[in-house]
Amino acid sequence: MIINEFKELFEKDFDRLYTEINSYSNLDNLWKTEQSISNSGGNLCLHLLGNTQHFIGKEIGGFAYVRDREKEFSVKGIAKAELLNEIAFARDIVSKSLEGMDDCLWSKIYPLQVFGKPMTYGYFLTHLYGHLNYHLGQINYHRRLIDN
């Protein structure tokens, strides 16, 4: 039951990510940084896609994925339509991965030690959901600041 609730939350926030990226008025603004803002909305989006597809899609769902974290922050100029397609794809992968996860895994140890110590699936999924929301807020702020 708790996995289904997390699935709904991730789906809802992937939909919000789609809306945020789609709301940029032009491609240049999506990739622009200014003053103390070091990451563009586009790069934060790529980071979220890489993070969720790696830690949920690959590790929980068993979907093939090779993450290039450096590229998430260095690539610029990907077309908005391509990003939107990637968001929809990642949403589907995360949804299918969580759909296939049994609630009994919630208290089991996640296979990777991301923070240098063992953690449960529940702990890490809670962290990943918070991480998604943190960067989603940054994207919203970035868009409202840069894309005016």
Written as tens digits, the pLDDT of the chain (148 aa) is 789 999 999 999 999 999 999 999 999 999 999 888 889 999 999 999 999 999 999 999 999 999 999 999 999 999 999 999 999 999 999 999 999 898 899 999 999 999 999 999 999 999 999 999 999 999 999 999 998 7
Domain holding 104, by residue range, is 2-146
pTM: 0.95
CATH of the domain at 104: 1.20.120.450
Write out the chain in H/E/C secondary structure.
Answer: CHHHHHHHHHHHHHHHHHHHHHCCCCHHHHCCCCCCCCCCHHHHHHHHHHHHHHHHHHCCCCCCCCCCHHHHHHCCCCCHHHHHHHHHHHHHHHHHHHHCCCHHHHHCECCCCCCCCCCEHHHHHHHHHHHHHHHHHHHHHHHHHHCC
Domains identified in the chain, total number: 1
